[in-house]
Structure 1
Amino acid sequence: MARRRPQPPRRAAEHPKGRTAGVVGAVVGLAAAGTAAGVALSRVAARRVRAAELGPAADVATALAESRLRQVDPMGAGARPADRTALVQADDGVLLAVEEIGPRDAPLTVVFVHGYTLSMASWAFQRRTLGAELATGNGHRPQARLVFFDQRGHGSSGRGAPEHSTIDQLARDLLAVLDARAPRGPVVLVGHSMGGMTVMGLAALRPELFGTRVRGAALLSTSSGNLADLSFGLPEMLTRVRAAVLPVAAWTMRHRPSFAERTRRVAADLVSAATKALSFGSSDVDPALVRYVDAMIAGTPVDVIAEFYPALAGLDETGRLEPLRRVPTLVLTGDRDTMIPQEHSELIVERLTQTGENAVEYVVVPGAGHMVLLEQPDEVSRAIAGLLRRVAAGADVGATS
């Protein structure tokens, strides 16, 4: 069972070109660094469907649905197909791939925002479980529509200009999805890792939405800042090595992406092992889950990974959490998360409860790592369902008998 009472909060710690061997080490180093907000680089070559390649508008829905269903299913039982698919245009013209489950007229909408180098497929378990549970409301749970989308540069969404690889732009993208797919009625935002940072970015960008349109939020395995100081559970010596190779890796990924792609294939076994060790808390995690994570992130171009990394490393939203105090909030983390350690969630809880305005539910899942939503999916789904019940009760949107 998840532990729901936090310990006393502990604060989180406050363009070169290398030779081939050095670049291999650099790419592996950035693989470890990148998982601070998502997961390590992968070895599985999966095809990325670009929005610009989807063809005529009449074929968009079919192409998106087919591409999503081709993805690996971690349970081997068939993916939960979307009821509707769409493309939403961001303010700079980038097309974002969106999928929905549940009735159009549901009284509550839940928007899921995935993490760095992942895709909406990271919510596979929650998509299936909550999609079935919330399709019709009853006396114990609300009826809800679930909205999933791929962040720019990830999954099936289009890419923007490198200078738009920022949390502020991701927040504007989330706003575009809300305006297009949930223009009316109460909304709950659920963000994992970089997705949680996107939710915090929206709170900073449009604070007036929280308490009006946005009625609840879930922040899973995320941070409000100080990511550049993380050790990822590595010894001090390796942490120093990582700091030395990161500039080489970032430069190579941005300016020699073809070479970097070849390099990560050369380092495939090492990087895949890093994915398992750094993304999951259990040593006996199902290999199918590791392969699933590999398959999701293989389609994220290395230059996209490099472009977003500075925004994550330089993040500081700690002082901009005030809007979230107005709504019921779930903060959830695994106690074996070495990517974004538990202390980062505790700092968010501390900030959100300073004024006593908002009762924050804090859930620590024993034995889980950064990919808690895949590693312990039942715990995560239960916690999200509990948040939705709280929101429905407070917003009078409710459950039906």
Structure 2
Amino acid sequence: MVTSHDGLPLAVDIRGDGAPTLLFAHGFGQTRGAWNGAADALAALGCRCVSFDSRGHGQSGRLPGGDYHMDQFAGDLLALAQAQSQAPVLVGASMGGLLGLVLAGEIRPAPFRALVLVDITPRWEAAGVERILAFMQAHPDGFAGYAEAAERVAAYLPQRRERKREDQLRPLLREGADGRLRWHWDPALLEGVVRESERYQPRLLAAAARVDVPVLLLSGERSDVVSRDTVGEFLKLVPHARHVEVAGATHMLAGDANDAFTRQIAAFIQAVFPGGATCRPAIPQEVH
């Protein structure tokens, strides 16, 4: 555990001891466990990988009053970036990517050496976000057991071949006093952060236009959160950004296509830091 900028405990994992440091920021409603496969693979290639649970998620602390705001999450991410011996490469999915974009655009010097944005752009497709929120709001009374939770996840992620096992679900669920299992996130998040998200878009668009570090945008071919239109707008705002569409992947890109995901990150790092990175792709991939 580390302590956030305002005193909340944040659960953190560190893998590897090479260079550069990759700081992984998960999406809304996820945990640091979303990065396990990618962080293990990239640490094995020579990177130092730092992942954490955002406030109100997983094993990190919750605000007693439930008054969450986007700037609090941004403050946590900034503090973790500044705690590294050198500015890290941010790998941010969805909410994590948006927070990184704001910090990279608004703070000088930028707190990140580079950005990897995972299926997110400053303007997103409302239908895809509404689908995610509908799932998060769908089971306020929780589940009778892990089998029921696994069934609901399988219905939400039909592209996944394997159903979640109990050991995979255990970090994602908490048992309440009534014996029922509920998701790991603080329900108060659904009010505060969601309420602010639309108001954040003008700030995100302005920040994107000021980003001056290397950027890789990875999008899922089957994503319903980003689209050709939102990607095109982003590339006009950040003309030096590289974009790769990962075949067959949805918004849950790292989980859908982890091998392709990690190869693209390793190749990007080698392209951007050719002489200063120990993280090397096992199979060279063209990044365009």
Short-chain TM bin: 0.7 to 0.9
Instruction: After TM superposition, list the pairs within 5 Å mapping 1:362-401 onto structure 2.
Output: 362-393=243-274, 396-399=275-278
Are 1:287 and 2:163 matched, yes or no? yes
Residue number among 224, 230, 235 corresponding to 2:122 in the alignment: 224
Between the aligned partners of 2:98 and 2:238, the Cα distance in structure 1 is 15
Are the aligned partners of 1:113 and 1:190 in contact in 2 as well (CA < 8 Å)?
A: yes
Between the aligned partners of 1:335 and 1:95, the Cα distance in structure 2 is 36
Q: Which moved more, 1:295-304 or 1:360-369?
A: 295-304
Task: Select the structure of larger CA radius of gyration.
Answer: 1
| Deviation for aligned residue 1:377 | 0.4
Contiguous gaps of at least 5 residues in structure 1: 1-86, 135-143, 234-238, 254-259
| Deviation for aligned residue 1:272 | 6.5
Residue number among 194, 207, 222 corresponding to 1:309 in the alignment: 194
Instruction: After TM superposition, list the pairs within 5 Å mapping 1:172-187 onto structure 2.
Output: 172-180=75-83, 182=84, 184-187=85-88
CA displacement 1:188-226 (0-9 Å, x = unmatched):
1110111111101212442x133xx52211000113135
Between the aligned partners of 1:386 and 1:271, the Cα distance in structure 2 is 36
Distance 1:329 1:147, change over 3 A: same
Q: Partner of 2:178 in structure 1?
A: none
| Deviation for aligned residue 1:130 | 0.8
| Deviation for aligned residue 1:311 | 2.6
Distance 1:161 1:100, change over 3 A: same
TM (normalized to structure 1)? 0.58
Residue number among 215, 231, 239 corresponding to 1:345 in the alignment: 231
Are 1:328 and 2:209 matched, yes or no? no
Structure number with greater CO (CA < 8 Å, separation at least 6) is 1
CA displacement 1:280-333 (0-9 Å, x = unmatched):
6x3x63223899479636211322333322233433111211342x22211011
Distance 1:201 1:275, change over 3 A: farther
Instruction: After TM superposition, list the pairs within 5 Å mapping 1:2-151 onto structure 2.
Output: 87-103=1-17, 106-134=18-46, 144-151=47-54
Instruction: After TM superposition, list the pairs within 5 Å mapping 1:118-267 onto structure 2.
Output: 118-134=30-46, 144-160=47-63, 165-180=68-83, 182=84, 184-206=85-107, 208-210=108-110, 213-225=111-123, 230-232=126-128, 261-262=140-141, 264-265=142-143
Are the aligned partners of 1:191 and 1:218 in contact in 2 as well (CA < 8 Å)?
A: yes
TM (normalized to structure 2)? 0.78
Contiguous gaps of at least 5 residues in structure 2: 174-182, 281-288
Greater helix share, structure number: 1
Amino acid at match of 1:108: P
Are the aligned partners of 1:109 and 1:146 in contact in 2 as well (CA < 8 Å)?
A: yes
SS at match of 2:10: strand
Between the aligned partners of 2:255 and 2:230, the Cα distance in structure 1 is 20
Identity among equivalent pairs (%): 24
CA displacement 1:124-148 (0-9 Å, x = unmatched):
11012111111xxxxxxxxx31111
Are the aligned partners of 2:102 and 2:208 in contact in 1 as well (CA < 8 Å)?
A: no
Distance 1:388 1:290, change over 3 A: farther
Between the aligned partners of 2:196 and 2:168, the Cα distance in structure 1 is 26
